[in-house]
């Protein structure tokens, strides 16, 4: 069975031979009021028009994230002993593998850009700006690996999945801003890629609403942040974009004790 799963850097995806074009919908507002050429230009050269808006949102996101890594620690039980410690009478001569917080481990953030057809571009714009604010805030304390994804789990056998790694080390702010906030990036360039690669015409399929399904489909590592797509049934909650994004990450966020 052919797997319609793709991984690119943003630079690779924006190659004319890779990116797609899907302009079957006649209303340009569905694409964020941008032509195909404007969407392409923004993804290559950037568009920082919403950065000031994202900066105003930063302090509204209450996030202090502890990312963990595996480490062998002294224990009364474990996989193997430290013989000198045992002979010296230590009560913790064994080594047990556990996960501990790290100040240096990059924070993985996975964003499903896929929206329901009925979610308007302005709502996607606000949501994207809030995610940008989250990335900017996390960047203040640790490196971020940002994955912008598109998923169509039931359109083709085995599902369609694309993972586009954003330029975040260092953070190319204007480019990332455009990808996260422009409806045309997912609805034009990514939809077009999917239609071509899967040899399909027509529309996108089901939008994943459940985080666990997104994590499974994208093989997201344990501990990374996962933000699901914009489903029409979540439309009202999406209007409060700060709260919506905050709710998505709270499971993986440890708030600082006062």
Question: pLDDT at residue 27 above 70?
Answer: yes
pLDDT in tens, 231-255: 888 766 667 777 777 776 665 554 3
Burial 186-224 (b: 16+ CB within 10 A, else e): bbbbbbbbbbebbebeeebbebbbebeebbebbebeeeb
Please tell me the predicted confidence (pLDDT) of residue 158.
65
| pLDDT in the model for residue 190 | 95
Query: Which tokens is 164 given?
Result: 């586009």
CA 196 to CA 13: how far, in whole Å?
Answer: 14
The secondary structure of the chain, three-state, reads: CCCEEEEEEHHHHCCCCCCCCCCCCCCHHHHCCCCHHHHHHHHHHCCCCCHHHHHHHHHHCCCCCCEEEEEEEEECCCCEECHHHHHCCCCCCEEEEEEEEECCCCEEEEEECCECCCCCHHHHHHHHHHHHHHHHHHHCCCCEEEEEEEEECCCCCCCEEEEEECCECCECHHHHHHHHHCHHHHHHHHHHHHHHHCCCCCCCCCCCCCHHHHHHHHCCCCCCEEECCECHHHHHHHHCHHHHHHHHHHHHCCCCCC
**Gap between the Cα atoms of 142 and 222, Å rounded:** 18
**Tell me, what's the pLDDT at 257?**
35
Q: Is the pTM of this model over 0.85?
A: no
pLDDT mean across residues, the chain: 84
Q: What is the mean pLDDT of residues 38-63?
A: 88
Q: How confident is the model at residue 106 (pLDDT cuts 50, 70, 90)?
A: confident
Interval 139-172: pLDDT, tens: 887 889 999 999 887 766 668 899 999 999 889 9
Mean pLDDT within 10-25: 95
Phi, psi (5° rounding) for residue 164? Answer: -115, 115
């Amino acid at each position: 069975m052919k797997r319609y799963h793709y991984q690119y850097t943003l630079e690779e995806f924006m190659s004319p031979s890779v990116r797609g074009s899907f302009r079957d919908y006649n209303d340009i507002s569905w694409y964020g009021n941008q032509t195909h050429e404007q969407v392409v230009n923004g993804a290559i050269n950037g568009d920082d028009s919403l950065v000031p808006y994202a900066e105003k949102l930063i302090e509204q996101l209450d996030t202090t994230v502890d990312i963990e890594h595996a480490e062998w620690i002294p224990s009364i039980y474990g996989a193997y002993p430290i013989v000198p410690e045992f002979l010296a009478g230590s009560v913790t001569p064994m080594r047990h593998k556990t996960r501990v917080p790290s100040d240096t481990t990059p924070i993985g953030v996975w964003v499903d850009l896929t929206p329901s057809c009925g979610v308007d571009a302005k709502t996607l714009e606000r949501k994207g700006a809030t995610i940008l604010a989250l990335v900017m805030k996390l960047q203040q304390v640790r490196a971020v690996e940002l994955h912008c994804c598109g998923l169509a789990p039931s359109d083709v056998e085995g599902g369609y999945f694309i993972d586009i790694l954003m330029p975040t080390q260092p953070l190319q702010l204007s480019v990332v801003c455009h990808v996260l906030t422009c409806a045309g990036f997912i609805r034009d360039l990514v939809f077009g890629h999917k239609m071509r690669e899967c040899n399909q015409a027509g529309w996108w399929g089901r939008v994943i609403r459940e985080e666990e399904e997104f994590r499974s489909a994208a093989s997201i590592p344990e501990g990374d942040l996962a933000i699901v797509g914009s489903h029409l049934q979540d439309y009202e909650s999406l209007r409060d974009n700060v709260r919506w994004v905050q709710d998505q990450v709270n499971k993986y966020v440890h708030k600082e004790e006062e």
